[in-house]
A and B are shown apart, each in its own frame.
Chain A
Amino acid sequence: MKRHLYFYLLSIVSLVFSSCGDDEGPTSPAGEYASGVFVVNEGNFGGGNASISHFDLENGTVSKGMFSSVNGGALGDVAQSMSLSGEEAYIILNNSTKVEIVNYGTFESTGTITDGLANPRYLAVDGDRAFISNWGNFDENFQLDQSFIGVVDLADNSLSTKINTNDGVEHIFIFEGKLFVANSFTNTVQAFDMDSYELLGTTELAQSPGQFAVDADENLWVISQGNFAGNDGALTCINTTNFSIERRVNLGLNPANKLVPNDASNLLYFYQGNTIYQFSSRGTDPSILAEMTDFVGIYGIGYHEDDELIYVSDAVGFGGEGKVVRLTVDGVEVDEFGAGIGPNSFVFTP
């Protein structure tokens, strides 16, 4: 506990110092939650108990279920992801087929996107447009009808265009003026033009690609889960000009579809089961960073530049409230705080 306290104090100190110099970037909102770490708690499927919780880095307090307490009513069912843009947070409620928009400083609701959505997954904002990946609907043989990126005009939250993709479009990433999408039911990543929405290229890589990350050398990486029980997951570096494969690192395992970068050390983090791996994009093979032995299973991972800590969450089998553990980049546990049901990802305020 003492050790935890020490790291905790250290992190506050470093935060105070780092926040002095870093005052550029977009305006942040005012309010209680304007600064800190949001945890996306997807909730039990059908339980309607998705929530967002907030961890205050300065005093270590955790606020839970702000959407309900501020707005009344429940947030929705299965919070798949959350993205920040300007003063807004966009929360995708997969099984409510909607996106709740809140001012992330106060968590007051400022709008809802429902138009044209079908199994929405992730969202990226560019100016006054939001790109939302949608799996589309399943038919009776559990085959997807048509996956697409919904382009939403944020002025009136209406869907203006549907960009058809390959099956199971999941993570989306705007990079070098292009829209990269990972089609998780396939072995493809597609790149689209941001204005004409034309397909620029398709990269074939290991099965079931997930999250994108950019390393310190400005290379675009994507993690693939591989085939079920095939132990053939991979990290793939994509050439963002001709969409060929720059480099492929076979992992020999089936990782989760999450990948987060640590710019300072040029590392990428991912996990499988209770094991956290790190991969240096300048190195060769990934190595084990830490084993979360008392976890039921890691369900989300994040790296926060400000406190230089790794955040991992345990959904405790969705049997109750999850927890978050913070680790140093050396894999040493710093502290732990409570989350809601099914914490799946972290969003750090700018």
Chain B
Amino acid sequence: MRRLVSTVLLSLCAMAAVAQTDTLVLDDVTILGQKWTSYATGIKVTRLDPDSATASQSLADLLQSSALAYLKTYGNGQLSTLNIRGTGASQNSIFWNGINSNITSLGLSDFSLTPMALVDDVSLQYGAGSSLLGSDVIGGSVHLAVTPRQTSELALALTQGSFGLWGGRAKARYYGRKWSAATRVLYQTSENDFPYQNIAAVGNPNEKMDHAAFEQWGLSQDVWYEINTRHQISAHLWYQSMDRQIQPGLNTSQRDNQDDQTMRALIQWSADYGDHNGTLKVAQLQDRIDFNGDVSVMPRTYLSYEYEYVGSDNWSLRGGVNWQVLSADIDAYETDISENRQDLFVSLGWYPMPKLNLSANLRQSLVEGFDPSLTPSLGWRYLASSWLTWTGNLSRSYRVPTLNDRYWRPGGNLDLRPESGYHAETGVEITRSKLKHQLSIYYGDVSEWIVWLPQEGYWAPENIDEVEIFGVEYESAWKVTKQLKVNASYAYNRSIRTAGATDSFEGKQLPYVPIHQIKSSLTYQQHWWSIGGDGQWTSQRFTNADNSGSLDPFFMVGLHASAQAGSAWSFSIRANNLTNQDYQLVLNRPMPGRNYQITIQHNFDFN
């Protein structure tokens, strides 16, 4: 314990000495165009600022450096899943413009597939949110969008980096009285032949990764049209592809290749009459995965309507429905699957007195044969004084078994039940002029947790685990001067299995859920240049259910600097893993040591 404390102190000192990157905004976050955020009372939502220094990175990189969450990453640029608030990879989701975008076969998202260059608004919702967001949101959710802005711009950037990384991106915006548009394009490729020490081989030789190259494309297109002062229609398109060699585990002869392609299209119509408003969404999403030539295609059609009535100054009511058709053409399924899902939801927001905000939400999901129970939540937010706010939330959560859980042959189990959780959280926010603190304590119990277990020559899922989750999160943002900003955060998380496949798993911490995490960042911004850095420390992570194996704690520092030459040119440099730490985020998958990225950007000014 003393060693831990000293390590923590040491790392804090080190972080204070270094600089940072990503600015965490601890405001009462309302995600533009996402009405549910006004009813997420007592639920923690933070905004992560993807800035120019992170533009060549993925959503996984951004979360790893700045969010209180663990990214289970299978190598550099490889599959990366999110463990947030002590839950597993399937118990959270990426929402694109408010639509759950988890790959329906796997029921999870690969966070390394999302390039930060395609979005400008990233928010992270912590904890259970099923009553507001539906299935999968047991541990949290990540929300992506491009937001309309009153500016026109065009910027082109080129990036070069270690291990053969290079790429370019373009960002264009048009703002007019009726029409606005934003276009983002990205191309990136890397040999990714990073050196590493092969701790699995006799003599621990230094080797070069020979099977982790990737090529990535991305496009996002957003168009907004103001029909009149009350009606707006918008169209959104997203395409991402990642063709990569799968980085093999050490000492394995695997040489797999995977090409992931995601297409998303949405038309959204919003009407706002002051005391009532409505939003209609029609969307088509499709994930396509080509694994060694074997292709799976998973289309999803999405339709939703929600209506909000603002009764008076002190209450509002929201209700809606969404309907989805999940399809899958996967060789391992006996037939092509097409499944209907409906969600009905209602929310009430109420200010019984000016300083107290209450909200109640209720959701019923209808899935053939898998109806999750009615899912309520109740939240509050009380302004105890000008500087102290007390929040809290009680909720249920659920997760519908994935298509693979049910239809994969052999093993798919049609008798599975949805996972089900009970959650409580409370927090305080303290705002002292330039310093803001946020402290959250949470507790949850998730049962019917689905685990795949071996049978005679194949694996099959069962509702077998029950997990009790307890944690504390502290985040702070300090605007030291106009130029200098500092963020620091700490998370303590215990996720204890109370029932499992066997006795030796009970009472044990879930694998890949670190008990302690510290993340911090610092930026210093002058009018034409800036420097920043980030530091993080992650405690030991167990690699299996009986906690007999683990990965060592690691400490990591990143630095970045940028400068502008006039208004037309800007340069930025980023250094990751400065101390050249040898670390793994998943057992047997090495990560790269110190590495750099340099970006040159040219801005065309139309304003």
* Binding between chains A and B: yes
Interface of A toward B, CB cutoff 8 Å: 44, 46-49, 71-74, 76-77, 93, 95-98, 109, 138-142, 208, 225, 228-229, 254-257, 272-273, 294-297, 299, 314-321, 341
Given contacts A273-B456, A341-B544, contact A316 B505 (CB under 8 A): yes
Cβ-defined contact, B545 with A320, below 8 A = yes
Listed A/B pairs (20) with beta-carbon separation below 8 Å:
A46-B254, A48-B251, A48-B252, A73-B200, A73-B202, A74-B250, A96-B253, A97-B253, A98-B253, A140-B294, A208-B457, A254-B456, A255-B456, A272-B456, A273-B456, A294-B502, A314-B502, A316-B546, A319-B505, A320-B544
Cβ-defined contact, A142 with B294, below 8 A = yes
Cβ-closest chain B residue relative to A341: B544
Q: Does B150 contact A (CB under 8 A)?
A: no
Q: Does B373 contact A (CB under 8 A)?
A: no
Rounded to whole angstroms, the CA-CA distance of A41 and B204 in the bound complex is 23
Interface of B toward A, CB cutoff 8 Å: 199-204, 248-254, 292-294, 331, 409-410, 451, 453-458, 500-505, 543-549, 587-588
Residues of B within 8 A of A98 (CB): 253
Cβ-defined contact, B456 with A256, below 8 A = yes
Rounded to whole angstroms, the CA-CA distance of A294 and B503 in the bound complex is 9
Cβ-defined contact, A228 with B410, below 8 A = yes
Tell me how far the C-beta of A317 lies from the nearest C-beta in chain B, rounded to whole angstroms. 4
Tell me how far the C-beta of B392 lies from the nearest C-beta in chain A, rounded to whole angstroms. 35
Q: A48-B252, A48-B587, A73-B202 are in contact. List 5 more A-B contacts (CB 8 A).
A: A46-B588, A47-B249, A71-B202, A321-B546, A341-B544
Cβ-defined contact, B587 with A47, below 8 A = yes
Tell me how far the C-beta of B296 lies from the nearest C-beta in chain A, rounded to whole angstroms. 12
Rounded to whole angstroms, the CA-CA distance of A295 and B203 in the bound complex is 38
Cβ-defined contact, B202 with A48, below 8 A = no
Cβ-closest chain B residue relative to A114: B253
Rounded to whole angstroms, the CA-CA distance of A320 and B453 in the bound complex is 12
Tell me how far the C-beta of A224 lies from the nearest C-beta in chain B, rounded to whole angstroms. 12
Cβ-defined contact, B546 with A49, below 8 A = no
Residues of A within 8 A of B587 (CB): 44, 47-49
Rounded to whole angstroms, the CA-CA distance of A163 and B265 in the bound complex is 54
Q: Is the interface of B mostly helix, strand, loop or mixed?
A: loop
Residues of A within 8 A of B202 (CB): 71-73, 109
Q: Which of A256, A272, A317, A341 has the most CB of B within 10 A?
A: A317
Residues of A within 8 A of B546 (CB): 316, 319-321
Given contacts A73-B203, A316-B502, A319-B505, contact A96 B454 (CB under 8 A): no
10 closest Cβ pairs, A-B complex: A140-B293, A320-B546, A319-B545, A73-B202, A97-B253, A74-B200, A48-B588, A46-B249, A77-B252, A317-B453
Cβ-closest chain A residue relative to B411: A228
Residues of B within 8 A of A315 (CB): 454
Tell me how far the C-beta of A183 lies from the nearest C-beta in chain B, rounded to whole angstroms. 15
Q: Which of A47, A318, A319 has the most CB of B within 10 A?
A: A319
Rounded to whole angstroms, the CA-CA distance of A109 and B201 in the bound complex is 13
Cβ-defined contact, A320 with B250, below 8 A = no
Rounded to whole angstroms, the CA-CA distance of A95 and B248 in the bound complex is 10
Cβ-closest chain B residue relative to A323: B504
Cβ-defined contact, A76 with B251, below 8 A = yes
Residues of B within 8 A of A318 (CB): 454, 544
Cβ-defined contact, A320 with B548, below 8 A = yes
Tell me how far the C-beta of A67 lies from the nearest C-beta in chain B, rounded to whole angstroms. 10
Cβ-defined contact, A319 with B501, below 8 A = yes
Cβ-defined contact, B294 with A96, below 8 A = no
Residues of B within 8 A of A48 (CB): 200, 249-252, 587-588
Rounded to whole angstroms, the CA-CA distance of A97 and B453 in the bound complex is 25
Rounded to whole angstroms, the CA-CA distance of A296 and B410 in the bound complex is 19
Rounded to whole angstroms, the CA-CA distance of A326 and B504 in the bound complex is 19
Cβ-closest chain B residue relative to A257: B457
Residues of B within 8 A of A49 (CB): 549, 587-588
Rounded to whole angstroms, the CA-CA distance of A47 and B294 in the bound complex is 24
Cβ-defined contact, B502 with A317, below 8 A = yes
Cβ-closest chain A residue relative to B250: A48
Cβ-closest chain A residue relative to B588: A48
Tell me how far the C-beta of A210 lies from the nearest C-beta in chain B, rounded to whole angstroms. 9
Rounded to whole angstroms, the CA-CA distance of A21 and B370 in the bound complex is 64
Cβ-defined contact, A297 with B453, below 8 A = yes
Q: A71, A139, A142, A225: which contacts B457 (Cβ < 8 A)? A: A225
Residues of B within 8 A of A255 (CB): 456
Cβ-closest chain B residue relative to A97: B253
Cβ-defined contact, B500 with A77, below 8 A = no
Rounded to whole angstroms, the CA-CA distance of A74 and B198 in the bound complex is 10
Cβ-defined contact, B252 with A296, below 8 A = no
Rounded to whole angstroms, the CA-CA distance of A314 and B453 in the bound complex is 12
Residues of B within 8 A of A317 (CB): 451, 453-454, 501-502, 545
Residues of B within 8 A of A294 (CB): 502-503
Cβ-closest chain B residue relative to A71: B202
Q: A73, A139, A208, A273: which contacts B204 (Cβ < 8 A)? A: A73
Residues of B within 8 A of A225 (CB): 456-457
Rounded to whole angstroms, the CA-CA distance of A95 and B588 in the bound complex is 13
Rounded to whole angstroms, the CA-CA distance of A83 and B292 in the bound complex is 33
Rounded to whole angstroms, the CA-CA distance of A138 and B291 in the bound complex is 12
Rounded to whole angstroms, the CA-CA distance of A228 and B411 in the bound complex is 10
Cβ-defined contact, A141 with B331, below 8 A = yes
Residues of B within 8 A of A321 (CB): 504, 544, 546, 548
Cβ-defined contact, B251 with A77, below 8 A = yes
Cβ-closest chain A residue relative to B462: A317
Q: Which of A93, A140, A229, A299 has the most CB of B within 10 A?
A: A140
Q: Which of A72, A225, A255, A272 has the most CB of B within 10 A?
A: A72
Given contacts A47-B587, A318-B454, contact A96 B410 (CB under 8 A): no
Cβ-defined contact, A72 with B451, below 8 A = no
Residues of A within 8 A of B454 (CB): 297, 299, 315, 317-318
Cβ-closest chain A residue relative to B508: A320
Cβ-closest chain A residue relative to B249: A46
Rounded to whole angstroms, the CA-CA distance of A295 and B458 in the bound complex is 17
Given contacts A73-B204, A95-B253, A316-B505, contact A47 B410 (CB under 8 A): no
Cβ-closest chain B residue relative to A119: B253
Q: Which of A77, A254, A257, A273 has the most CB of B within 10 A?
A: A77
Cβ-defined contact, A320 with B251, below 8 A = no
Residues of A within 8 A of B200 (CB): 48, 73-74
Rounded to whole angstroms, the CA-CA distance of A142 and B409 in the bound complex is 13
Rounded to whole angstroms, the CA-CA distance of A142 and B252 in the bound complex is 19
Cβ-closest chain A residue relative to B410: A228
Cβ-defined contact, B204 with A95, below 8 A = no
Rounded to whole angstroms, the CA-CA distance of A291 and B253 in the bound complex is 38
Tell me how far the C-beta of A319 lies from the nearest C-beta in chain B, rounded to whole angstroms. 3
Rounded to whole angstroms, the CA-CA distance of A257 and B203 in the bound complex is 37
Tell me how far the C-beta of B416 lies from the nearest C-beta in chain A, rounded to whole angstroms. 16
Cβ-defined contact, A141 with B504, below 8 A = no
Residues of A within 8 A of B203 (CB): 72-73
Residues of B within 8 A of A228 (CB): 409-410, 458
Q: Which of A74, A97, A299 has the most CB of B within 10 A?
A: A74
Rounded to whole angstroms, the CA-CA distance of A129 and B340 in the bound complex is 59
Rounded to whole angstroms, the CA-CA distance of A319 and B545 in the bound complex is 5
Q: Which of B249, B456, B501, B548 has the most CB of A within 10 A?
A: B456
Rounded to whole angstroms, the CA-CA distance of A139 and B331 in the bound complex is 14
Rounded to whole angstroms, the CA-CA distance of A272 and B454 in the bound complex is 12
Rounded to whole angstroms, the CA-CA distance of A272 and B587 in the bound complex is 31
Cβ-defined contact, A47 with B502, below 8 A = no
Q: Which of B200, B253, B548 has the most CB of A within 10 A?
A: B253
Residues of B within 8 A of A71 (CB): 202
Tell me how far the C-beta of A48 lies from the nearest C-beta in chain B, rounded to whole angstroms. 4
Cβ-defined contact, A229 with B410, below 8 A = yes
